[in-house]
Amino acid sequence: MKKIILTGDRPTGHLHLGHYVGSLRERVELQNSNTFDEIYIEIADAQALTDNADNPEKVRKNVLQVALDYLSVGIDPSRACIFIQSAIPAIAELTVYYLNLVTVARLERNPTVKAEIQQKHFEASIPAGFMCYPVSQAADITAFMATTVPVGEDQEPMLEQTREIVRKFNDIYGETLVEPSIYLTTNKAGLRLPGIDGKAKMSKSLGNGIYLCDTPEDVEKKIMSMYTDPTHLRRDDPGHLEGNTVFTYLDAFCRPEYFPEFLPEYANLDELKAHYTKGGLGDVKVKRFLNKVMQAELEPIRARRHEWDQHLDDVMDILKDGTAKANAKANETLHSVKKAMRINYFEDGNLLK
Ligand code: ATP
Ligand code: MG
């Protein structure tokens, strides 16, 4: 069986460090490992519209921004196909058939959707499209016969729902679709990176992010204002690491070589942590170190973005070619699905017999 990746992001804003550490960094590694036969990366504009129907301009203008974010982290369009979801009609068509394989009660139980409904204050007026987006996500994944989905931990319930749909489809209509697996980062801190405010998840919608395209000055300002340990009032007080965002970010981004380069008085992160918990190490010093780490991590990303920014026509061509390739693949799947369901009437010579 072919090894195929499908992953993507909603164009609701620029991509941030949470996306980077939770998913983008892994995607680039998987791409460069050359162990996958096909890689598809979706800019999920149709999904973004499920909770932004009244603000289509926001979604529209971020499509190009997300494409730039991809290219700037090192997604290589000659190896990975970047495409726009709404330009793939087969995904919408598959969604219609899959909706019949899911109950409303099951959708209401989806923990990610539940949390997002609360976060977005929908209360009683949940858009039906939003409620059903896990089904359209099953269509995204299966349209490409994806075996592997590198995403953040919050997407696990979506993958589970997709596998249920695949099993139900194959049970009723015969073996057609592939059950996908989630691919999570091995970096524990990156599974769900908190925001700079210490809230559970850095998220575009919560406005608590450091963006890949932020200027060096913005990054520094955000880091210096970050949530740490509210009980660590004086430098000599013992500090706590749990829930301390600055240390979570160091766990996510710090490489051993940054110590000799930026903070040679400590051998490694464990030594720094030990000093902090014992007391005698101030937050400002740790934040300054984190700032140097983040600037070093972000610099090559900024440089690549600057390059692509000068060639936006090429970026549009990449999206156009990627979308054409993605359409061919998704149409093939839709064809197999309709054949399995026996609704391929005009190909089915047996219909009149
Ligand atoms: P929105 O608020 O519009 O939903 P978002 O910031 O949650 O935006 P998405 O586009 O929904 O971003 O998520 C894209 C991908 O990035 C998903 O795989 C998701 O799991 C991952 N991701 C998003 N935020 C984080 C985070 N803070 N830590 C780890 N992974 C994340
Ligand atoms: Mg989200």
The model's pLDDT over 198-235, given as tens digits with 9 standing for 90+, comes to: 987 898 878 899 999 999 999 999 999 999 998 888 88
> Do residue 261 and residue 172 come from a single domain?
no
- Residue 150, sorted as left (phi over 0), alpha (psi -120 to 50) or beta, turns out to be beta
CA–CA separation, 180 and 157 (whole Å): 12
Q: Answer whether residue 298 is part of any domain.
A: yes
CATH no. for residue 247?
A: 1.10.240.10
Cβ pair 41, 83 in contact under 8 A: yes
**Ligand 1 pocket mutation, candidates 15, 17, 23, criterion most atoms within 8 A of CB:** 23
Q: Which ligand minimizes its atom distance to the CA of 12?
A: 1
What tens digit of pLDDT does each residue of 279-326 get? 999 999 999 999 999 999 999 999 999 999 999 999 999 999 999 999
> Do residue 232 and residue 165 come from a single domain?
no
Q: Answer whether residue 210 is part of any domain.
A: no
> Do residue 154 and residue 288 come from a single domain?
no
The DSSP letter of residue 22 is I
> Do residue 156 and residue 233 come from a single domain?
no
**What is the CA(19)–ligand 1 centre distance, in A?**
6
What tens digit of pLDDT does each residue of 34-51 get? 999 999 999 999 999 999
> Do residue 185 and residue 74 come from a single domain?
yes
CATH no. for residue 43?
A: 3.40.50.620
pLDDT for res 348: 76
Atom of ligand 1 nearest to the CA of 10: 10
Q: What is the total count of domains within the chain? A: 2
Q: Answer whether residue 257 is part of any domain.
A: yes
Mean pLDDT across 100-115: 93
pLDDT for res 218: 97
The DSSP letter of residue 284 is H
> Do residue 280 and residue 185 come from a single domain?
no
Q: Answer whether residue 205 is part of any domain.
A: no
> Do residue 288 and residue 334 come from a single domain?
no
Say if residue 134's pLDDT is above 90.
yes
**What is the CA(14)–ligand 1 centre distance, in A?**
11
Atom of ligand 1 nearest to the CA of 154: 20
> Do residue 344 and residue 284 come from a single domain?
no
One-letter amino acid at 220 equals: E
Q: Please tell me the number of Cα atoms within 13 Å of 167 on its side-chain side.
A: 6
> Whose Cα sits closest to atom 25 in ligand 1?
18
> Whose Cα sits closest to atom 16 in ligand 1?
19
Measured in whole angstroms, how far is the alpha carbon of residue 11 from the centre of its chain? 11
> Whose Cα sits closest to atom 19 in ligand 1?
152
For β-strands 148-150 and 181-183, DSSP reports them as: parallel
Say if residue 69's pLDDT is above 80.
yes
pLDDT for res 190: 87
One-letter amino acid at 142 equals: T
What tens digit of pLDDT does each residue of 53-64 get? 999 999 999 999
**What is the CA(320)–ligand 1 centre distance, in A?**
25
> Do residue 128 and residue 255 come from a single domain?
no
Q: Answer whether residue 142 is part of any domain.
A: yes
> Do residue 255 and residue 301 come from a single domain?
yes
Containing H/E element for 7? Answer: strand 4-9
> Do residue 120 and residue 33 come from a single domain?
yes
Q: Answer whether residue 224 is part of any domain.
A: yes
CB within 6 Å of ligand 1 — which residues?
9-10, 12, 18-19, 22-23, 151-152, 154-155, 190, 192-193, 201-205
Quick check: pTM over 0.75? yes
> Whose Cα sits closest to atom 20 in ligand 1?
152
Domain that holds residue 260: 216-307
pLDDT for res 235: 87
Q: Answer whether residue 209 is part of any domain.
A: no
Q: Which ligand minimizes its atom distance to the CA of 44?
A: 1
| Encoded tokens for 96 | 């219609």
pLDDT for res 92: 98
- 134: CB partners within 8 A, 6+ apart: 102, 107, 110, 112, 113, 157, 158, 161, 162
**What is the CA(20)–ligand 2 centre distance, in A?**
14
Q: Answer whether residue 206 is part of any domain.
A: no
> Do residue 48 and residue 99 come from a single domain?
yes
Enumerate helices (H) and strands (E) in the chain, giving the number of each.
16, 5
pLDDT for res 333: 98
Which of 276, 291, 307 is the endpoint of a domain? Answer: 307
